[in-house]
A and B are shown apart, each in its own frame.
Chain A
Amino acid sequence: EVQLVESGGGWVQPGGSLRLSCAASGFTLSDYWMDWVRQTPGKGLEWVANVNQDGSEESYVDSVKGRFTISRDNTKNSLYLQMDSLRAEDTAVYYCARDCCPGDLDHWGQGTLVTVSS
C-alpha cells in the first residue's frame, strides 16, 4: 500500500524557517516525480513545487521561488521542503503527493499544518 506521511509542520514567526519531510513507503520513490501542494485554511489548492526522479530538476510556483527548496533522498525514501523567509501568507496545510505521468497526483499524504504568525 502506498503511504505518504508528512511531518515538520508547526508554528513559526515571520522570517523564520521550517523543514518539512515526507516519508514514502509502498512504492519505489526513485520511479516518480514528487510534489508539494498547499491549502490555505478554508481555501483552495495551490501547487508549490516538484522534483524529478533523481532530484536534478526542480520547479516552483513564483510566490515561493528563492525562499523554498525541494529535495529528495531516494535512499531514505524521503522528500523534503526547506522553507525560509516565511511569510504570513505561507500559512497552510502542506501535502506531499506522488506525481505520476507526470502531473497526475495519484497519492497524497495527510498533510502537515504550517502557521506563520507573530
Chain B
Amino acid sequence: DIQMTQSPSSLSASAGDRVTIICRASQSISTYLNWYQQKPGKAPKLLIYGGSNLQIGVPLRFSGSGFGTDFTLTINSLQREDFATYYCQQNYRTPLWTFGQGTKVDMK
C-alpha cells in the first residue's frame, strides 16, 4: 500500500499569511496527487488534481506542486474562509486510493 504522510498535523496562521502544507508518499506517485479542503460538518471538496491543476472555481491563491514523493499545497494570502482541514490523496495505484492524515489550519 502507498502511505501518505502530511506535515504539519496542524498550524496556526493569520489572515494574509502564506501557508505551506507538505505531503509525502511512501513511493513515487508521479503527479497522481490531489488536495481536498474540508470544513467542519461538511464533505471534502476537491481543490487540486494532478499535483498542480486547480479544480474549477478554486481561487488562484491556492497552488500545488511536486513530483514523485514530495508535494506541497500553498495558500497565498490566507482568507478567513480558508481555515479548514486539508487532505492529500494519491490516485497513482489504481483503484486503491489513500489519503494523508490531514492538516488543520486554524486562526492564530
Contacts and interface: CB of A to CB of B under 8 A. Distances in A.
Contact of B99 (A46, A52, A57, A62): A46
A102 B45 contact: no
A59 interface: yes
A50 B50 CA distance: 20
A110 B102 CA distance: 19
Contacts of B89: 45, 47, 103, 105
B102 A45 contact: yes
A44 B101 contact: yes
Contacts of A95: 43-44
A104 B45 CA distance: 11
Interface residues of A, number: 24
A68 interface: no
A111 B42 CA distance: 8
Nearest to A103: B91
Contact of B97 (A103, A106, A109): A103
B95 A109 contact: no
Contacts of B97: 35, 47, 50, 103, 105
A11 interface: no
Nearest to A106: B46
A33 interface: yes
The 9 closest A-B pairs by CB, nearest first: A103-B91, A108-B43, A47-B97, A45-B99, A104-B49, A44-B102, A59-B95, A44-B101, A106-B46
